[in-house]
Amino acid sequence: MKRYILAAALAALPTLGFAPEITGFSASTASAASSGCALPAEVNAKATRIASGLNAFRASQGLGRVTHDRDLSKAAQVQACDLARTGQFGHRGSDGSDHRVRLERTGYCAGVSAENLAWGYPRASQIITGWQGSPGHRQVMELDRAREFGVGIAQGAKGPVWVLVMAQPC
- Render 35-47 in DSSP notation, one character per residue: TT----TTHHHHH
Q: Whole-number mean pLDDT of the chain?
A: 82
Q: Supply φ then ψ for residue 122, to 5 degrees.
A: -75, -25
Number of domains the chain contains: 1
- Which range among 59-68, 87-96, 117-126 has the greatest average pLDDT? 59-68
Residue 142 has a CB neighbour count (10 Å cut-off) of 16
Beta bridge partners of 85: none
* Within a domain: 88: yes
* Within a domain: 97: yes
Q: What band does 36 get if pLDDT is binned at 50, 70 and 90? A: confident
Q: What band does 35 get if pLDDT is binned at 50, 70 and 90? A: low
Q: What band does 87 get if pLDDT is binned at 50, 70 and 90? A: confident
pLDDT tens-digit readout, 6-30? 333 344 344 334 433 322 333 333 4
Q: How far from 48 is each of 18, 26, 72, CA to CA, in Å?
A: 8, 20, 15
Residues in CB range of 95: below 8 A, 6 or more apart:
82
Residues in CB range of 145: below 8 A, 6 or more apart:
111, 112, 168
pLDDT tens-digit readout, 135-165? 999 999 999 999 999 999 999 988 999 999 9
* Within a domain: 45: no
Q: What angle do CA 157, 50, 169 make, to 5 degrees?
A: 110
* Within a domain: 68: yes
| pTM score | 0.79
CATH number of the domain where residue 155 is located? 3.40.33.10
Residues in CB range of 53: below 8 A, 6 or more apart:
124, 125, 127, 128
